[in-house]
Structure 1
Amino acid sequence: MNILFRADAGEQIGSGHLMRCLGLAQHLCDGGVSCSLLTTGAEEPVLARWREEEIDVQEHQAERGSLEDAAATLAAAAASGAQWIVADGYEFGSDWQCAVKEGGAKLLCFDDLGGASFAADLVVNQNPGAQDLSYDMRGGGRVLAGPEYVVLRKEFRHMQWEPSSDAPRILVTFGGYDRGNLALAAMGELAKLKEPFSATVICSADARGLEEAQAFAASHGKQFHVTPPTDMAPLMAAVDLALCAGGTTALEMAALGVSMVLVTVADNQEPGAAALAGAGCARMAGRGVAALSQATKTLGDLLRDPAAREDMGRAGAALVDGRGGERIAEAMRAGITAP
């Protein structure tokens, strides 16, 4: 089976779409499937993750979600002999989907919001609570909804969380493109805490923002360690608590059993973040920089309450079992063999 992925990353949309697709591509490649990627706007460090898996990466310049984009996708699918196209991005609306399906390949679309019309054969919404959303499947397709379809990248599948025996460790991360340097603002709030802790801070701002964050850390002894985006799985598995945005990262934290305080940074993160809080594996602080004060207060409460952190971690691990890629692959294989 050959599969073409169509997903992007960038300052305005972050890197979650590409990383979610990478997790599914890794799972499929492990099963002998040939995968390729068509993308636009992503920076080389993100694309390098795909090339490390020996996945063919093609770039194009058409406007995301346009009919020109659909034509480029059709051409790439035909060239690779793809039986499935996997699309992840809110710009790939029903017109784009209908145009792409004219080529004969089946179509899977990732979604986070619900309520839209889809011409796809499969729609996957991996967020908790997604099973309660409505979808207009105009082409008679199927919806795979809920956390049983969370796709984990391979580095997370066998990673196990280990509690700290020293002062609690906090991981701070707000996605692959932190335009407003929320990480730096978060450090300013965390520094006010009286409870002992150490923090690893992932700063995905621009070069100047990274320098500012590193300078702040240097002025606070060894309490903060600042790093640009790196291999996240071992960092997540080595902390007791996380301050993070919603989206894919929060689901990965849940799978590892890490308790979280969530500060959302985009509209599409709101439903999933609220559902994670409702499931007991996270606490919601609010949206953006205005929520950091409340987030810090909540972190202080959890630093003083290891039993609550353990309960939240168990709830997350029970919610996300890490077999989402396997279940999606089974549905795709069934779609290929169906008459």
Structure 2
Amino acid sequence: MHFVIRADASVQIGAGHIMRCLTLADKLSYLGGSVEFITRRLSGNMDDYIQSKGYKVHSLIHSGLLDLPTSDIDSNSMFDYPQELDASETIQLLSGKDTHWLIVDNYCLDIIWEEKLKNYSKKLMVIDDLANRSHCCDLLLDQNYTRNKNRYDNLLFPETIKLLGPKYALLRDSFGGNGVRKKRKFNTIENVFVFFGGADPNDLTSLSLRSLRHPELKNISVTVVIGNINPNQKKIRKLIAQLPNAKLHVQTEDIAELMANADVALGAGGTSTSERLAMGLPSIVVTVADNQVDSIKDLDHDGYLVWIGSADNVCEEIIQVSLLAVIRSPSLGKTQSLSAQKLVSPNGCELVAKLIVEGLDAETLIIRKANPDDCLLYWHWASDPVVRKNAFNIENISWESHQVWFAKQLDNSDAILFLIESEYGPVGQVRFKNVDSVFMISYSIGRVFRGFGLGRGLLEKAISTLRLSYTGIVFGDVKNTNIASKIIFKQLGFKEIVPSPKKGAHRFELHL
């Protein structure tokens, strides 16, 4: 399988998008996939770092797009980004490639970009955590913790698979080891871990280092991590030289081990939040963008971390007071740590990668009768280009006519509509039309789950359910060009009727 990832890094954006995409890329590669990146060559980009990890990088270098909106990504400025131009450049790089998945992790891109790109890849995945714009994708991943489980409901098509919450956090394997977690002590605070992302454009690292000069903190060891793209390295090095027990790590690969040896963290509310939670590292958090506030506020409310405010209103004194409170009551950190470890799945990245590489186990499929709420989902499935190509009536279906048809089907006792689902969401549908105990079968599988051999399991589940209430004959007409369906019917024991009574088709029959 071939995967293409579209993501950016810069001094303003930070390194988080690229780092979590690299984690996913490593897991996809381990499962046998090939991965390439498409990035824009911004100031502070990580193209060299990506290449050092063994991945090919294609750069978008249009001169008018060398600067992106600042970290205030919730402002209207993000929507001024020329998505059509970005899409055009990306299409040029994708043309001629057999891309199985296009994965995009970029706050400036939405349904406008995605609709232009969806035909250049078999499937499209979006990584997001804003929930502030519409998407046209097969799968959406948002690893953030939030109490609002329905925040994407009006932003996605009904067939889109949603992977939401820390269960699917894109963490490197090093963050999943119970062994390193056990090293932490809770009776005393001896080591503070400071990391505000690879870029830290607000220079919260320097602010934290100045706050650590408090007399009561003089015996605390300080572990500081920054990225290569941090623009304030000289200032940070000078501040570290003033602290007797401080050590700097630049673009380190050992963050998990450094976290394991720490007793409390000072950090931002970005992608590293999941890493700290997975490691059970008690955290004092500063949000550096508006989109981080809701999730961090919920985590604070539910006792998983301590939120002390946003970057524009945090000062040395606030950091000092928060640190001293933890030092004077280390048991608070223990409670936070034990709760956090239960929240984040250490194998979230593996769950995501296996889903998009291997699909589902047909044995896990769930069947139910369709209901009025499924009308829009069925219309989207029926309007899919592959479905229309395989249908005997290839004309497009209007939403108005579909609504009328769907309501009639639900009211017709001779129409049996089964919806097949999984733990991740809708998978496909099987429909039977009953005429005197002769059942005409038709089915379709949602785009995201095609190519995984689920057709047989889908039909087996539906036919087995039909047998519980009916006897008779099931038949299906398959277009001559639909090779996959012909194979599935034969595998299920259907017998081909020769000659076929329907022109341009093969007919298959099965006795219930």
TM-score computed with the length of structure 2 as normaliser:
0.61
Matched, 1:142 2:161: yes
The alpha-carbon deviation at position 131 of structure 1 amounts to 2.7
Distance verdict in 2 for CA 1:193–1:125, change over 3 Å = farther
The alpha-carbon deviation at position 119 of structure 1 amounts to 0.6
Distance verdict in 2 for CA 1:252–1:123, change over 3 Å = same
Select which of 160, 163, 180 maps to 2:184.
Answer: 163
Matched, 1:90 2:107: yes
- Letter in structure 2 aligned against 1:147: P
Q: Residues 173 and 347 of structure 2 are in contact (CA less than 8 Å); yes or no, is this contact kept in structure 1?
A: no
Distance of 2:140 and 2:356 partners within structure 1: 11
Distance of 1:290 and 1:223 partners within structure 2: 28
**Which structure has the bigger radius of gyration?**
2
Q: Residues 326 and 332 of structure 2 are in contact (CA less than 8 Å); yes or no, is this contact kept in structure 1?
A: yes
Moved more, 158-167 or 311-320: 158-167
TM-score computed with the length of structure 1 as normaliser:
0.90
Q: Residues 14 and 176 of structure 1 are in contact (CA less than 8 Å); yes or no, is this contact kept in structure 2?
A: yes
Tell me the secondary structure at the aligned position of residue 159 of structure 2: coil
Matched, 1:315 2:335: no
Q: Which runs of 5+ in 1 are unaligned?
A: none
- Letter in structure 2 aligned against 1:256: M
Distance verdict in 2 for CA 1:44–1:210, change over 3 Å = closer
Match of 1:4 in 2: 4
Tell me the secondary structure at the aligned position of residue 137 of structure 1: coil
Tell me the secondary structure at the aligned position of residue 337 of structure 1: coil
Select which of 283, 286, 290 maps to 1:263.
Answer: 286
Q: Residues 37 and 56 of structure 1 are in contact (CA less than 8 Å); yes or no, is this contact kept in structure 2?
A: yes
Q: Higher relative CO (CA 8 A, sep ≥ 6), structure 1 or 2? A: 1
Aligned residues between the structures: 338
Q: Percent identity?
A: 27
Deviation digits for residues 292-337 of structure 1 (CA, Å, limit 9, x no counterpart): 4323211111112222112111111111112222222243243242
Distance of 1:81 and 1:119 partners within structure 2: 20
Match of 2:494 in 1: none
- Letter in structure 2 aligned against 1:87: V
Select which of 303, 306, 322 maps to 2:330.
Answer: 306
- Letter in structure 2 aligned against 1:118: H
Q: Residues 181 and 204 of structure 1 are in contact (CA less than 8 Å); yes or no, is this contact kept in structure 2?
A: no
Match of 2:492 in 1: none
Distance of 1:39 and 1:188 partners within structure 2: 35
Matched, 1:234 2:257: yes
Matched, 1:128 2:145: yes
RMSD: 2.5
Distance of 2:328 and 2:126 partners within structure 1: 42
Match of 2:26 in 1: 26
The alpha-carbon deviation at position 43 of structure 1 amounts to 6.8
Distance of 1:322 and 1:279 partners within structure 2: 20
Q: Residues 197 and 268 of structure 2 are in contact (CA less than 8 Å); yes or no, is this contact kept in structure 1?
A: yes
Matched, 1:252 2:275: yes
Q: Which runs of 5+ in 2 are unaligned?
A: 66-80, 360-447, 456-512
Deviation digits for residues 55-95 of structure 1 (CA, Å, limit 9, x no counterpart): 22221214376223212323333444211100001111111
Match of 1:279 in 2: 302
Match of 2:233 in 1: 210
Match of 2:39 in 1: 39
Deviation digits for residues 164-186 of structure 1 (CA, Å, limit 9, x no counterpart): 59851001111111223221111
Q: Residues 262 and 295 of structure 1 are in contact (CA less than 8 Å); yes or no, is this contact kept in structure 2?
A: no
Deviation digits for residues 233-260 of structure 1 (CA, Å, limit 9, x no counterpart): 2222221110000111111011111010
Distance of 1:166 and 1:49 partners within structure 2: 37
Match of 1:337 in 2: 451
